[in-house]
Structure 1
């Protein structure tokens, strides 16, 4: 590289010059270069600079002749200080300011003022001069009141005053006719002013984390409201007028003292209702008939002991949270809500539904509820009997359209001992994957069912009169779930071992005295239900041959001793109640599977 000569000129470094100038002019925390940029852009950001006060030169930024005017160049566009624009955005956030002087009135063109996270105890009356202000953020300060001058901010769209020490809102707030977003959460409010009813353009209102005991009836006049959050307050009820909020979409009322679910008569747009952590005792059909658009219903941590059948009115329901209530059962019709994707039940004293069914998730729980619905015979006989809607066999109708759409042959509760050939033919064409034959009078696997063996993954033969299962079951190589519950079986054919895709087998309510040894050959088995039999011994060595078994139900058998080695099985759900053994004690069983397994391991003699 060629070296510079003695007389070579060093190029001017503009960036370095600006940095040096900033250092020279930053004794008060506000470099002149930042003020210069603010005159050009109309935006000034002084956040996080440790300012205890704002220098006078900031308040006079559009009034005083700037320092750079002393060496002005008419040929340099950057030096044309007289072309400055009015300040429209001022950010003073995250400093240590204790007051805003009346000099704020020097900025009538401001549209955004952000002074959150300071130590402000009051706001000046001069705020009334900010006639163009649209967004004001004074959150995370020490404000005890909002000044009446707030009412002069006619153009305000967003006001954030959360995390202060407000005990009330001034009546002048009713003058904010254009406001759409109001956040007064995390204060000390005990009431809300009736003046809120004038804010007909308000879309979002957050009053959470206060001490509010009641809401004014005028809140029903806020016709534009879509989002309302009153979480963590002391509400005992909502005014009847609250039901007039036709545009309301999201309603959060968790952690209050509500004894009843509010009747939201005209809230036709409501999508989410969160009323968990209250004292709600029950739900009536009157509550539910007005919630037909609801997607999410959060009822957790209440005292609900029963759900009415009218829950099916919520045809758009996707999530229902019933955690920690007093439910001992569920209406079976809950399984008919097609849109329901999440049903949460932990912490309820369920008696009619086994814990292992609940643990399997929403899909399996809905299947269980559907399987418990008793269909009147008259309905079955009155179904369509011709055209493209149904196929007739043994005086029972089956929907061919449903078979094609759902890939399911439901021939349950027909009192049938065989399946008509035309129905099987239609099922074969539809390539059904699920066959439901429960509550009939089959004495064995229907001989002609083998025609579906190439596609069926779930076969339900429960509630029949089967005493011996045919070896033909081996043809159903794709089976994942096999339900043989409520029959008269004493053993299973050795051919079951060929069903190596089987993940779940149900042999509950039969006449088994042992778990059939063939079961221990199903290496992918995850779930084994064998409750309500006459099983006397737990074959731990056999169970250890099932590497992925996580759910084992042996309730209501004749087991007189529980081998401690069972504690080494990697089970997530173990049900042993209702047997003859005295140890483990009922108190241990009631504490759940982890405690039970730990107890058993502690008894292993080494």
Structure 2
């Protein structure tokens, strides 16, 4: 038995060593040449910087062991449906093409960790993309024509970076508070379209960088003051009223203090609404505070949270980063596409 296991292990190592990295980039190819090479032994295939208008269905269907597929900077208008056969694919780069939609079959690429679809003509993402790609860590869809992100995005439980800048986003989907691993979120430069942020953004307790610059946002959600791990906040180019620009210019720490103070002194009409959010913020360890001691009645005490401390951060940055992350739904799902 031990001999058989050793032989099998040796055989697997030999097969792994046989996997090939094939580089056909920058050859001005209009079509792919016929090759005697067994496509099943290809681990990395680079077809970038050519003039390819399509990728044959038969080709992707036979790339059984491909881990990285790079077809950026071509003339592709679509991806083959057979891309769903790439069960081992981890990195897919289709940026710099003419793609208007991704095939639904891409959801079958369950090993996918990085998807780069920047600089295309995407008008929408597959509605159920987040239900299957649970290993996705980085989603880059900047410089497209997206008007919304599907609500299933909230199920991308490994997502760390979401870059959706330079689109036509009018709102962010319900359930984004579930992206508990999200570190970088960039929804900048949606210009006249994006004018609000969800209050639940304060539950993104892993968030390090938030870029919402060059939109039409007038008010930052008070819950942003609870993001104790946030190190960079870019808000340039927005018609901000709250917090006012003189507060913004004083840096992130002051902005968070302002938002926390505003949360603590919400008008009575907003108390009930805010109380439920404060409870969630505390429960999920996003809000770092304690209850103010006083002789007021218990209901009022519950709403008087005071920040214990603030992390020192060097001001604001200019827009440049990407971003975001994911976990399980914490609240009742509502449709984000019907607006």
**TM-score (norm: length of structure 1):** 0.41
| Pairing 1:349–2:235 present | no
Task: Sort the Cα spacing of 1:313 and 1:285 in 2 relative to 1 into closer, same or farther, 3 A.
Answer: farther
Task: Check whether the contact 1:137–1:160 (CA below 8 A) recurs between aligned residues.
Answer: yes
1:271 alignment partner in structure 2? 160
Query: Distance between the aligned counterparts of 2:100 and 2:241, measured in 1?
Result: 37
Q: What is the distance in 1 between the residues matched to 2:293 and 2:238?
A: 43
Q: Which one of 16, 20, 32 corresponds to residue 146 of structure 1?
A: 32
Q: Structure 2: 5+ residue runs without aligned partners? A: 1-13, 276-289, 311-339
**Does the alignment pair 1:298 with 2:175?**
no
Structure 1 counterpart of 2:23: 137
Alpha-carbon distance in structure 2 between the residues aligned to 1:347 and 1:223: 38
Deviations 1:235-266 (A, max 9, x none): 00011232120000000000000001232143
Contact 1:246–1:266 (8 Å) recurs in 2: yes
CA positional deviation for 1:395 = 4.9
Q: Indicate conservation of the 8 Å contact 2:113/2:135, yes or no.
A: yes
Q: What's the offset of the Cα at 1:394?
A: 4.2
Corresponding residue SS for 1:157: strand
Aligned position for 1:333 = 223
TM-score (norm 2): 0.72
Paired residues, number: 267
Q: For structure 1, which segment, 252-261 or 352-361, has the greater mean C-alpha deviation from structure 2 after superposition? A: 352-361
Deviations 1:449-482, CA, capped at 9 Å, x for gaps: xxxxxxxxxxxxxxxxxxxxxxxxxxxxxxxxxx
Name the residue aligned to 2:69.
182
Residue correspondence of structure 1 range 461-540 to structure 2 within 5 A: none
CA distance in 2, matches of 1:393, 1:240: 50
Using the TM superposition, give the Cα deviation of residue 330 of structure 1 relative to its aligned residue in structure 2, in angstroms: 1.2
What CA deviation, in whole Å up to 9, does each residue of 1:529-548 have, x standing for no partner? xxxxxxxxxxxxxxxxxxxx
CA, structure 1 residues 224+344, in 2 after alignment: closer, same or farther (shift >3 Å)?
same
- Asked whether the 8 Å contact 1:219–1:241 carries over to 2, the reply is no
Residue by residue, what CA displacement relative to the aligned partner does 1:150-175 show, whole Å, maximum 9, x if unpaired? 77221111111111111111122221
The answer to whether the 8 Å contact 1:289/1:313 transfers is yes
Q: Does 1 or 2 have the higher relative contact order (CA < 8 Å, sep 6+)?
A: 2
Q: 1:278 to 1:394 in 2, by over 3 A?
A: same
Q: 1:147 to 1:240 in 2, by over 3 A?
A: farther
Distance 1:359 1:247, change over 3 A: same
Displacement, 1:322?
Answer: 0.4
- Taking only aligned residues, the RMSD between alpha carbons, in angstroms, comes to 2.9
1:186 & 1:219 partners in 2: Cα distance? 20
Seen in structure 2, the aligned counterparts of structure 1 residues 368 and 164 have a Cα distance that, compared at 3 Å, is same
Name the SS for the 2:115 alignment partner: strand
Q: Distance in 1 between matches of 2:309 and 2:208?
A: 23
Deviations 1:4-39 (A, max 9, x none): xxxxxxxxxxxxxxxxxxxxxxxxxxxxxxxxxxxx
Pick one of 130, 137, 148 that aligns with 1:260: 148
- How far apart in 2 are the matches of 1:151 and 1:213? 32
| Per-residue Cα deviation, 1:188-219 (whole angstroms, up to 9, x for no partner) | 10000001100010000000000101110000
- 2-side partners of 1:271 and 1:207: how far apart? 20
Question: How far apart are residue 393 of structure 1 and its match?
Answer: 5.0
Work out whether residues 151 and 173 of structure 1, in 8 Å CA contact, stay in contact via their aligned partners in 2: no
What's 1:173 paired with? Answer: 60
* CA apart distance, 1:362: 1.6
* DSSP 3-state at the match of 1:247: coil
- 1:396 deviation in Å? 8.0
Shift in Å at residue 285 of structure 1? 2.5
The answer as to whether partners of 2:149 and 2:172 remain within 8 angstroms in 1 is: yes
Report if aligned partners of 2:125, 2:149 keep a CA contact under 8 Å in 1: no
CA drift at 1:391: 8.7
- Residue pair 1:304, 1:326 contacting (<8 A) in 2 also: yes
8 Å contact kept, 2:142–2:165:
yes
Structural mapping, 1:564-583, within 5 Å: none
Secondary structure of 1:192 counterpart: coil
Equivalent in 311, 317, 341 of residue 201 of structure 2:
311
Deviation string 1:542-574 (CA, Å, 9 cap, x unpaired) is xxxxxxxxxxxxxxxxxxxxxxxxxxxxxxxxx
Larger radius of gyration: 1
**Residue matched to 2:87:** 200
Could you tell me whether the CA contact under 8 Å between 1:332 and 1:369 is conserved in 2? Answer: yes
Checking the alignment, whether the CA contact within 8 Å between 1:185 and 1:208 is kept in structure 2 is: yes
DSSP 3-state at the match of 1:326: coil
For 2:308, the equivalent position in structure 1 comes to 406
Runs of 4+ with >3 A deviation = 147-151, 375-379, 389-399, 405-408
